[in-house]
Structures are given as structure tokens and as C-alpha cells.
Amino acid sequence: MLLPSHVALFLTCSAETLYPAVGRACVTVLEAAGFEVAFPAGQTCCGQKWFNSNEPAEARILARHFLEVFEDSPAIVAPSSSCVDTVRNGYPELFTDDPALHKRFVALGSKTFEFCEFLDKAGIRQLPALPAPVLTTYHSTCRTLRGIGLVGVAEKYLQQLCGDQFVPLPNADTCCGFGGTFSVKLPEVSGQLLHDKLDAIVATRAEVVTALDLSCLTHLSNGAKRLGMNRQRFVHLAELMAEALQGGRA
């Protein structure tokens, strides 16, 4: 596919609040691939919480705002599969009764990409290896796998970054138990699934855990912290790529 050389970064509310480093890493990697990155200052949140709670009036407010901010961008890149899924697959569903607007949302969705998905579509086939890779595993979040249908891409990049230090996670396609409001509405079940996922992570002996969704990573890393697991570092894949480009951990 033909991709423009200008991209707009949609950082997402979780990255803005908690992970500025992920935003910086995205910029570093995109620029290293020759893209000119814009950061539209008017951007806010995609409204996923309202969409998933079936509160369409609220979700529409956020969708319209997103359209206003990003409609003119040639391509939109976000370090979060679930937000991309909301924009690409959720927004059009909110406007089925308005054909003109629906069409604009479909167009918007078709040029909104998850960060790693975008690199793959842009033809980035080879990443430099990390100078001193450690055992690294990958949680392929539900929205990465089933929302945007990105299968095998992150794993391929991780093999280039980490070589034989990349270890796949068993039961990779099972949910980590975050589920947005699920995590606070059914904390017992959420906690059980969290602990199952952390057990799987521990069994890999990995020191780095990556994913393409910051909300799942927040749930996992803070669950690990509660259990006193301090061996593992939870990072977005963009951060590992930026480290490789910059010759090591900044």
C-alpha cells in the first residue's frame, strides 16, 4: 500500500498520563524510518471507555472530536491496538444512521494504524538488533490479535531485536483479564486472569515483557508490582525499537 511521508501521532490518554517515553520512542522510530511526524495539539482521548460501556452518546462526542482533529492527517499512528480498534471498528458503528458521516469515519479508520502495524505496512522489514538483549517475551493483546488482526508482526520484529532472547508466551491468545471497566467491575475474576498471565510470564523467565497495548501493560505491570515481582520490565515494543536505534537503553 502507498503510505504518505507525513504521519500524525495519536498518543492516547494512557500514554499521555503514564508513559511519555512511549511517545518519544514512537517519534524516534518513525523519524528513523523517514517519516515526518506531527502531533496535533488538540487531540484528546478516543472514548473507548464509553464505547465499550455502550454509552454511545458519550462515545459520539469523542468520535466527532477525533474526526475534527485528525481528518486532514494523511495517516494516524497510535501506540495502542485497542484505541486503533475503537477508531477503526467502533466509530463507524456509532454513526450507522448518518451515511455521510459514517463514510467519513470509515475513511478515518482506514488510515489509522497501530504503531507496529504501520511500520509493517510501510515496508520496514529489518530492525537493528539490541546491543545486549535479555530474555524478552510478548503479550499479544486481544485487540492486537482480534481487533486489528495483527498476527506475527510484533513477533517478527522481536526476533530481529532480540535474536534468540525472544521467547514466546504460552497461551498467547488468552486475555490478561484487564478488559477496561471489567478490571474494576469484576476484580476477583480480573485478578485471577492477571495472576494466570503473570504465572505464564514468570515461567518464560523473561526480564522484559512487551505488548502493543498500554492499558494491558499497566494492568500487568502494576499487578506484578503488587506481588513484589521486580525482575521484569514492562515496555511497549516501540521503546525496545528506539533503544535498538539509539544503541542501548537511554
Partner 1 sequence: MKRSLTRHSFRLASARAIPDARLRAAVRKTAGVLADMRAKTVASKPDFEALRDWGRSRKIEISGDLAKWADQFAANVERQGGIVHRAKDAADAGRIITEIAKAHGVQVAVKSKSMTSEEVGLNQLMQAAGVEVTETDLGEFIIQLADEHPSHILAPAIHRSQDEVRSLFAEKLCAPDNLDVEGMVRFARKVLRHRFLEAGMGITGCNFAVADTGTVTIVTNEGNGRMCTSLPPVHVALVGMEKIIPSIKDLPDFLSLLTCSATGQRASSYISMTTGPRRAGECEGPEEVHVVLLDNGRTNIAAGPWREILHCLHCGSCLNHCPVYNAVGGHAYESPYSGPMGTVLSSLIWGENIYPDLANACTLCGRCVDYCAVKVPLRSFHRTLRNRNRQATLKNLLPARLAAYPGSYRRGIAAARKLLRNKSLAPLLRATNQSAANWLSCRELPTPTNEQSFRQWWQQRIPNQQDPPQLIREEQPAKPAPIPGADRVPASPSEQELFELYRQRATAIGVELAEITPAQLAAQLQALIQAEAVSCTALPSGNWPPEILQQVTAILQASDSHLTTTEDNVHGNGWHLDDLINARLGVTWCNAFLAETGSMVFAAGSGNGTLASLLPEVHLAISSKEALFADLKAYFKANPGTPPSRLTQISGPSRTGDIEGTMTVGVHGPRRVIHWILATENNSSGKG
Contacts (CB under 8 A) with partner 1, residues 160-219: 173-175, 177-196, 218-219
Q: Which of 4, 6, 107, 125 binds partner 1 (CB under 8 A)?
A: 125
The number of beta carbons lying within 10 Å of the beta carbon of residue 207 is: 14
d(C-alpha 238, C-alpha 235), whole Å: 8
- Of 15 and 162, the one with the shorter C-beta distance to partner 1 is 15
- Written as one letter, the residue type at 143 is R
DSSP string of 88-104, one letter each residue: IIIHHHHTTT-HHHHHH
Q: How far is the CB of 135 from partner 1 (least distance, A)?
A: 24
- Of 43 and 165, the one with the shorter C-beta distance to partner 1 is 43
Q: How far is the CB of 184 from partner 1 (least distance, A)?
A: 4
C-alpha cell at 94: 456509532
Interface residues for partner 1 in 55-74 (CB under 8 A)?
55, 57-59, 61-62, 64-65
- Of 22 and 135, the one with the shorter C-beta distance to partner 1 is 22
Q: Which of 52, 159, 160, 204 binds partner 1 (CB under 8 A)?
A: 52
- Of 102 and 135, the one with the shorter C-beta distance to partner 1 is 102
Q: Which of 7, 8, 10, 13 binds partner 1 (CB under 8 A)?
A: 13
Q: Which of 29, 84, 211, 240 binds partner 1 (CB under 8 A)?
A: 29
Backbone φ and ψ of 226, nearest 5°: -60, -35
Q: How far is the CB of 107 from partner 1 (least distance, A)?
A: 20
C-alpha cell at 30: 518513525
Residue 72: exposed, middle, or buried by beta-carbon count in 10 A (0-12, 13-18, 19+)?
Answer: exposed
Q: Which of 203, 34, 55 is nearest to 118 (CA)?
A: 34
Q: Which of 11, 38, 18 is nearest to 235 (CA)?
A: 18
Tell me: does residue 110 bind partner 1 (CB under 8 A): no
